[in-house]
Amino acid sequence: MQTSPTYLTHHFLIAMPQMADPRFDHSLIYLCDHSAEGAMGLVINQPSDLNLDDLLIQLAPELTGRSDQPVFNGGPVEPERGFVLHDGERRWESSVDLGPLTLTTSQDVLRAMACGEGPEAALITLGYAGWGAGQLEQELADNVWLSCPAEHGILFSLPHSERLGAAARTLGIDWTLLTSQAGHA
């Protein structure tokens, strides 16, 4: 009997301590999409040196001085491209429905956020993390990542420095006790 694959859309990926890629060291990723074709996610716990005001200087200078909302390093793919992961029913010029959340890539959402008219809960990233067909499944099999269902509170309510540990705790794991060193009995 053949089983169908398990896809992890709307899950967190927790980078294990043995993560070899320094771009993902200690990272927590929200998986926006995972299918047979590959996966796409956003790193949600690595803030950049930018905030929403910094982005608006280029896009709408008249709106600057209103928001210091952090911008996160979403991943190494297309680091110049912005993504807003948010809740709410409203759709913007370029929005994709992810089920419980929405992913928007158009500037209108940033302008609305600066004016206090944006989504109630939102996370801004530059870039994303991407995997080709079968790549994430292999990394999961190699124990590079742990996965758990995503939680709205971890994603939007916790400070970025607490998100990784909180996601690990949903699996009953104390992140601070994990190590990349193999033991020998």
Cα–Cα distance measured from residue 127 to residue 70, given in angstroms and rounded to the nearest whole number:
14
pLDDT in tens, 113-139: 988 899 999 999 999 999 999 999 999
User: Three-state SS for 34?
Assistant: strand
CATH of 11-177, one of 3.40.640.10, 1.10.238.10, 3.40.1740.10, 3.50.50.60: 3.40.1740.10
Distance, CA of 47 to CA of 56 (rounded, Å) = 17
d(CA 135, CA 10): 18
Beta-carbon contacts of residue 125 (< 8 Å; ≥ 6 apart): 42, 43, 44, 71, 72, 73, 74, 75, 82, 83, 84, 85
Residue type present at position 125: T
pLDDT tens digits for range 57-101 = 888 878 777 778 999 999 999 999 999 999 988 889 999 999 899
| Residue 133 structure tokens | 């067909």
Enter the pTM of the model.
0.91
Where do we find the tokens 């709307």? 10
Angle (CA) 109-55-13 rounded to 5° is 70
Q: Where exactly are the structural domains of the chain?
A: 11-177
